[in-house]
Amino acid sequence: MKFKAVNPDRRSLPLSLGTLALLLSLAMGGLDAQEAPSHEYSADGETTIETVNGLRVITLRSNVFVRQEDIELTGDVAVLEYDRNNQLQQVRLTGSPANFEQKAADESGSVTGFSDTINYYAGSEPVVEFIGNASFSQPGTSLRCAEIRHTIATGATSGQACSGSLSPQAN
């Protein structure tokens, strides 16, 4: 079958290309606004991916690293749970110890902690829990507890069976 040659009107070609470019830029701008927080992970050992109760579950073993925005987690084993929209919901990390760091613009503002187990809940109000031999430091506060719960957005922190220290803070 032969097709007729079509010669577009050369005057309308720049208009068509301009319209196409505008539509592409609007589409790309819309995608950027809806993107989830960036995250990455790696492990030296086995990685498994499965679906459990409607959640995508990724298990990482041996020298595990997980990052979401300014949060970094390291340890021996991590279990990441994603919802149906591939949004990270939770990370359970174990280690000897498992480590947490929320990087700040300067090193003095970083929040750090470690414990036997760390539960990081990445929802709309992110929370990190340190369970077993927990240690936690944020500007002006250091805690050693059996368990610590820290709300990331507000900085509110609570613990069980704790000792700690406070230092003066500049206001």
Name the H helices within the chain. 13-34
In three-state secondary structure terms, 23 is helix
Q: How far is it, in rounded angstroms, from Cα 143 to Cα 137?
A: 6
pTM of the predicted protein model? 0.75
User: Regarding the domain with residue range 39-166, which homologous superfamily does it belong to in the CATH classification?
Assistant: Lipopolysaccharide (LPS) transport protein A like domain (2.60.450.10)
End-to-end distance of the chain based on CA atoms, in angstroms? 79
pLDDT band at 35 (very low <50, low <70, confident <90, very high): low
Q: How far is it, in rounded angstroms, from Cα 101 to Cα 111?
A: 6
What is residue 104's predicted lDDT score, i.e. its pLDDT? 83
CA angle 10, 15, 17 (to 5 degrees): 90
Arithmetic mean of pLDDT over the chain = 82
- Is the confidence at residue 14, as pLDDT, over 70? no
The answer to whether 83 touches 55, Cβ cutoff 8 Å, is yes
Residue boundaries of the structural domains of the chain: 39-166
Task: Compare 162 and 170 and report the one with higher pLDDT.
Answer: 162
Give the DSSP letter of residue 161. S
* Structure confidence by residue, pLDDT tens digits, 102-126: 998 776 689 999 999 999 999 889 9
- Is the confidence at residue 24, as pLDDT, over 80? no
Q: What percent of the chain has pLDDT over 70?
A: 75
- Is the confidence at residue 170, as pLDDT, over 70? no
**Amino acid of residue 167:** S
